[in-house]
Structure formats: structure tokens, C-alpha cells
């Protein structure tokens, strides 16, 4: 299975989680990691599985490194029919009203463009002091399974 792990970050937590997910995935599959800042949305294809790890900054906004991708995504509005992805969102419940909204912005747009989210929506809350990687690695098998189930049917 070919997997692309994409991350959007501002203080670096999402990057570490993305790298840890890719390292785990590379045990059985082929996974690559990209900062969203270095990834062109026009390159998203239906034969790959995308895992998005993305935090929230400002007031419920995307983190800095996701912004160029967001602009490119909106400018090109590529047809993402058949593209499958999973989301692990980072946030902080201290920000009650905008908790974890950052990744949701991309999730919503991906769906609008025809892509399909599979598996559970993963979350990490900075107020918990949980290690993001621990939660993400627990979450990972579920979404991989969900993706495999999708592609078989």
C-alpha cells in the first residue's frame, strides 16, 4: 500500500507525529511524509491513501505550514473523486470554541472536492499532556483497516 502522510504545523508537534506514523507504516507499507507547505494538491491521486496530521492555530485557523497548500487547493479546486484520506487533528480544549478546527477546515474542503474520509477522526488535545504519537499510533491501525476495507469492496 502506498501512503502519503501530510502534516500542517506551527510548533512542530504534527511533524513529529507524521514522522512517527510514517516510520510505523513503513514496516509493512510504503509511506512518504510531506509538509503541506511542500505538497501540491494537484498531485493527489486515487491510488494512494492520504493521512493528514494537522494542528489548529490563531482562533480555529490552519497552522502556518498548511496555508500555501490551502491557497493552492482553493485556486486549483482539483477533482478529488476517489481519493481517500484519514485525519488526525491537533488542538487544545483550552480553546473551547475552536477546539481542533484547523484540520476540520481541510477535511471539509477535501470532502467538497469529492474525496472521502475513512476511519475514525483522530484527535490530540494539548491540555491532556498525552503524547501525540502514542494516541496517533493507537489510532493508526483502525484507519488503515478502514482504508483496506474500502479498497477491497
Partner 1 sequence: MSTTPSVAIIGSGPSGCYLAQGLRKHWPEADITIFDQLASPFGLVRYGVAADHQSTKAVTRQFDRLFERDNVRFAGNIRVGEDVTLEQLQQAYSVVAFATGLTQDRKLGIEGESLPGVFGAGVITRRLNSHPVVEEGPTTFGDRVVVIGNGNVAMDIVRFLIKRPDDYEGSDINDALVESYNAARAKRIDVVGRSVVADAKCDALMVKELGKIEGVRFSTAADCTVPEGADRATSGRIEAVRELNELEPAGNVDTEVVFHFGYAPEKIIGETSVTGVDFTPTTSAGEALHIEAVSVIAAIGFELQADASQMFGNDVPQLTATPETGRFGQGLYRTGWFKRGPRGTIPENRADAKEVTDEIIADVEGGVITTLPSQTGFAALPESVQEKAVSFVDWQRLDAHEQATANAGRIRTKISDHAQMVAIAKNN
Ligand X SMILES: Cc1cc2nc3c(=O)[nH]c(=O)nc-3n(C[C@H](O)[C@H](O)[C@H](O)COP(=O)(O)O)c2cc1C
45 makes contact, choosing from ligand X, partner 1, none, with CB < 5 to 8 Å by partner type, with none
User: Which residue, 6 or 113, is less far from ligand X as judged by CB?
Assistant: 6
- The answer to the question of residue 11 lying near partner 1 (CB under 8 A) is yes
φ, ψ at 115 (rounded to 5°): -75, 165
Is 16 a residue that touches partner 1 (CB under 8 A)? yes
Q: Taking CB under 8 A as the rule, does residue 32 contact partner 1? A: no
Q: Return the number of the residue (34 or 95) whose C-beta is nearest partner 1.
A: 95
Phi, psi angle pair for 26, to nearest 5°:
-65, -10
Among 146, 149, 76, 86, CA closest to 116: 86
39, 99, 110, 139: which one binds ligand X (CB under 6 A) = 99
Residues 6+ apart with CB under 8 A from 89: 54, 55, 56, 100, 102, 103, 104, 107, 121, 122, 123, 124
SS3 of residue 132 by DSSP? helix
CB of 77 to ligand X, least distance (A): 26
Instruction: Find out whether 17 and 54 touch, Cβ atoms under 8 Å.
Output: no
Shortest CA distance to 90 belongs to which of 26, 135, 153, 50?
135
Interface map 41-60 toward ligand X (x if CB under 6 A): --------------xxxxxx
Site for partner 1 in 89-118 (CB under 8 A): 92-95
Instruction: Give contact residues for ligand X (rule: CB under 6 A).
Output: 9-14, 55-60, 63, 90-92, 95, 98-101, 126
Amino acid at each position: 500500500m502506498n501512503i502519503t502522510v501530510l502534516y500542517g504545523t506551527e510548533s512542530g508537534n504534527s511533524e513529529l507525529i507524521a514522522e512517527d506514523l510514517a516510520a510505523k507504516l513503513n514496516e509493512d507499507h510504503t509511506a512518504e511524509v510531506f509538509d503541506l507547505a511542500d505538497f501540491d494538491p494537484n498531485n493527489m491521486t486515487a491510488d494512494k491513501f492520504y493521512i493528514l496530521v494537522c494542528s489548529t492555530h490563531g482562533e480555529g485557523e490552519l497552522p502556518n505550514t498548511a496555508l500555501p497548500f490551502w491557497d493552492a487547493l482553493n485556486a486549483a479546486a482539483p477533482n478529488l473523486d476517489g481519493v481517500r484520506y484519514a485525519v488526525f487533528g491537533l488542538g487544545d480544549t483550552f480553546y473551547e470554541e475552536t477546539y481542533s478546527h484547523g484540520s476540520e477546515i481541510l477535511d471539509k474542503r477535501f470532502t467538497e472536492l469529492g474525496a472521502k474520509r475513512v476511519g475514525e477522526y483522530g484527535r490530540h488535545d494539548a491540555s491532556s499532556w498525552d503524547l501525540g504519537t502514542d494516541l496517533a499510533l493507537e489510532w493508526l491501525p483502525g484507519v488503515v483497516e478502514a482504508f483496506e476495507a474500502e479498497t477491497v469492496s
